[in-house]
Structure 1
């Protein structure tokens, strides 16, 4: 075993504590000491840079890395889709993200090739295909195409956007099928969405009883359900059913936030995708997406304030889609504008790790944790725009291995 000290930096450990000058010792991928490097130690010189935990994005779509209209129209080859997916995985790592939670669109093959080092990328947790109701959010088949043909568009081992259920029994079968394919948690769409096919943003989808079936199946495997949800009716249905997390949460009001707090349901807001979708031309989306996104950012910002006041655990997710996913840290910049750079960092590290069930292994810089760390060329806690610039993440360490930058 060889000890390597990351020395001469300032550590923001992900807990929210003030940064402090410290050296960090890594042994076989684990942080084994924090203090001062002994004389003669093998060191990586940080030259005064801020060292943070590796960032975590709790809401990604690696499987939606191609031009959206072409992808939803099934106009792209498997080779092109794969190339785009793997490029996006590398971009995430280069932006300082060492862990991501994929909330719909990839099959386990993508997770596996990244985990075994054949493709550069962060640690990936995946729900596999999203669970959606017949005609609900997540279903993008043509109106004339029979619903049962939708699964034929999946590319096994690479991408599978959603599984469609018409009732509780079908949902149970589809959740089990997702676990068979390697999912480690479940995601349901319980309201309409901004990039919709046959749904409206105000729709509620799946009944409380149906959602509870997914919760039961997840609990049987020691894991949880998160839900795509914009409106309060859908969120309340999901909370009553026993889900553990809400994605987006655009319309959260005070009673809904109190209910989430009482049931320890976390929230993952997603501001970067809203900014992204305002430019529908570059995103190759129709005008209906522009109409749907109107006012969403303001409502989501209001919901964030309500959630913070209610004491919810608030994670961080970018939800970026399409080929423009290089600036994943934009989500931290946007959150910093609404709260503070430190709030954004804590949400993207220790809080997200807890939401993902990884709080004992990643998300903070402390002894016993996996050595996922990022050294920043400039201090993002002083200027949050640094988080949004991948060039500022000059040293990215995952499991103790330098994945970007040079060890000096």
Structure 2
């Protein structure tokens, strides 16, 4: 379509500045200008609505869109797994998220299929399979099953949850394989996890030297490593090894936060998944024992957020939702708005996340020249952040200047 103008909306540009009433002209998939334009073309009246940049979720698992335990025990067909992945991709767009970073579980074919427009979904950056140490977080095989059988459960081009490495050389081989399959960054698990089979949150996994191998391989391709890390020792190991980002960060302490700030390592806390596991364990397809593992995590993660903020760490936003119930991705902004301000939550989900993902020249703020990823909200989510949590409030979603959802 030709150039068009969106008029009448209160524009929250993602930079942290207060909303302004300004027209936005969209042309060739980009924001051509802010302010009154002489360009002829369609006018889209958005009176009473609030415009934000398309939201970004820096921690998603599209490949874990089926009930978790049945999927991990290989009782679900590839066709059904694919159907669930594509449904989640569409629901992500409907919730106002135009870009996501998939932190493990999909294989390259999913990224390509969405990018070609064959199914509705956001732009996806993916690490492919998560890199784990033998028997560490991310391994869900039966105890009797030999480790080497684990990757035979991957469905090439669709889902590949994790790869196991017994030492630095195996890790080097595995990360090269992940890049071969189309990964655009790497993710390692360097501590135990909440949804764990064989480990505890207090375990550290991979040595500093091993993590550094992945960092070296990522740097060779102009990209970076992020890590799943809950305990402070694991976080510190990863930071010392040169990673660029930490996911969860539950037990982060002040000295490690200071080190992160000094080395410009970002943090992506994940509150929505904690709420999900506390309140609807069964809905994710996991048993109640998972709930016990998550008790106390919310309080500690809240403290870690405050510690990181105090130290000046760059803090993004990620939901980490798993299982079939991933339609309310905006819950993460609502939860963060309760701990900070709604504006800080929005900036984390737009400008800051774009920086963390290496996309800040393309998306994350509403400015001329940027890609026209835009959401028009029913009402003002800065006054009522509950609006972010309900996809019905994302009245209009534009992705690269194309209307991909319209409830007007």
Provide TM-score, normalisation by structure 2. 0.98
**Residue 335 of structure 1: aligned partner:** 336
**Kept in 2: contact 1:28–1:400 (CA 8 A):** yes
Deviation of the 1:40 alpha carbon: 5.1
Partner SS for 2:23: strand
Q: In structure 1, what is the Cα distance between the partners aligned to 2:184 and 2:178?
A: 9
Q: Is the 8 A contact 1:7 1:37 kept in 2?
A: no
1:290 corresponds in structure 2 to 291
SS at the partner of 1:228?
strand
The aligned counterpart of 1:299 is 300
Relative to 1, partners in 2 of residues 1:263 and 1:42: Cα closer, same or farther, differing over 3 Å? same
Q: Deviations over 1:103-159 (max 9, x none)?
A: 000001000010000000000000000000000000100000000000100000000
How far is 1:280 from its partner? Answer: 1.9
Distance 1:247 1:265 in 2: 11
CA distance in 2, matches of 1:349, 1:47: 23
- CA distance in 2: counterparts of 1:40 and 1:89, whole angstroms: 34
Question: Distance between the aligned counterparts of 1:39 and 1:367, measured in 2?
Answer: 15
Alpha-carbon shift at residue 288 of structure 1 (Å): 2.3
- Once the two structures are TM-superposed, the CA of residue 42 in structure 1 deviates from its matched residue by 2.0
RMSD: 1.0
Q: Which runs of 4+ in 1 moved over 6 A?
A: none
Structure 2: distance between partners of 1:133 and 1:318? 24
**Which stretches in structure 1 are left out of the alignment for 5+ residues?**
none
The separation in 2 between residues aligned to 1:222 and 1:284, in whole angstroms, is 37
Q: Which residue of 1 aligns with 2:135?
A: 135
1:7 to partner: Cα distance: 1.2
- SS of aligned partner of 1:302: helix
Quote how far apart the aligned CAs of 1:283 are: 2.6
Equivalent position of 2:191 in the other structure: 191
Contact 1:227–1:245 under 8 Å retained in 2? yes
2:108 matches 1:92: no
Give the distance between the partners of 1:142 and 1:33, measured in 2 at CA: 57
- Give the superposition deviation at 1:39: 7.9
Aligned to 2:315: 314
1:286 deviates by: 2.1
TM-score, normalised on structure 1?
0.98
Number of equivalent positions: 407
Aligned-pair CA distance for 1:254: 0.5
- 2-structure distance, mates of 1:74, 1:87: 20
Equivalent position of 2:28 in the other structure: 28
- 2:266 corresponding residue in structure 1: 266
- C-alpha distance in 2 between matches for 1:287 and 1:392: 32
Which residue does the alignment assign to 1:45?
Answer: 45
What residue number does 1:105 align with? 105
Give 3-state SS (helix, strand or coil) of 1:325's partner: coil
Write out per-residue CA displacement over residues 18-56 of structure 1, whole angstroms, 9 at most, x where no aligned residue: 000011111110111100244854211111311000000
Deviations 1:221-257 (A, max 9, x none): 0000000000000000000000000000000110110
Counterparts of 2:87 and 2:286, CA distance in 1: 22
- How is 1:135-174 mapped onto 2 (pairs within 5 angstroms)? 135-174=135-174
Deviations 1:164-219 (A, max 9, x none): 00000000000000000000000000000000011111100000000000000000
* Cross-structure match for 1:384: 385
Instruction: Return 5+ residue gaps in structure 2 as ranges.
Output: none
Deviation of 1:70 after TM superposition, in Å, equals 0.5
**Take 2:150 and 2:144, find their aligned partners in 1: how far apart are those partners?**
12
